[in-house]
Amino acid sequence: VDTEAFDFLTARLDNPLVVVTTASGDQRAGCVAGFHTQCGIEPMRYAVWLSKANMTYRTGVFATHLAVHYLDVVDHDLAELFGAHSGEDIDKFARCDWAPGPGGVPFLTRCPNRVVLERISIWDGGDDHACFVGEPVDASRGAELIPLRLSAALDIEPGHAVEERVKADDVVAQR
């Protein structure tokens, strides 16, 4: 494959960034994601791809709900908090305002543009990211949304490299 062409094309798409949050038991997690999209109309479906290296993935596999918060250009600091650090090292939710939503999923108070997904399925092709497909069960919007895009977050070093991923068997063993 021509990786230069692939990188050119994906860079031009310049995905808007979201913070995906989730909760299972008393564990809360959330990370920045560029891999997300609507993927069904009737029934309505939305998908997010979570890296198996991330705490958010490990929490999400046991969760009923995910909240997708659409970041605005003014939210670079939130992208830094949720994208450059792992919940294994810091308590991200002690450093921002949030409130519990369905299934305990944390809603970020700063981000009124939000869709809540009730998980339908996880598609795992054995690669570094797994696809979580959900039914939108709640949506809210602010007055406006000017998306924070990938090109505006290139200075943020992800808290986990994808090579750090664990195998599904290890996740079950950890519980």
Residues in the chain, total = 175
Between 121 and 151, CB nearer to ligand FMN: 151
Q: Which C-beta is closer to ligand FMN: that of 33 or that of 117?
A: 33
- Rounded to a whole number of angstroms, the minimum distance from the CB of residue 53 to ligand FMN is 7
Using CB under 6 A as the binding rule, whether residue 71 contacts ligand FMN is answered as no
Please give the Cα distance from 51 to 117 (Å, whole number). Answer: 18
Of the ranges 24-32, 39-47, 116-124, 165-173, which one interacts with ligand FMN (CB under 6 A)?
A: 24-32
Contact residue for ligand FMN among 50, 68, 111, 116 (CB under 6 A): 50
Degrees to nearest 5, angle at CA 65 with 64 and 66: 140
DSSP 87-122: TTTS-GGGSS-EEE-GGGPEEETT---EEEEEEEEE
Q: How far apart are CA 99 and CA 104, in angstroms?
A: 9
Binding residues (CB under 6 A) for ligand FMN: these are: 17, 29, 31-35, 49-51, 54-56, 83-87, 150, 153, 156, 158-160
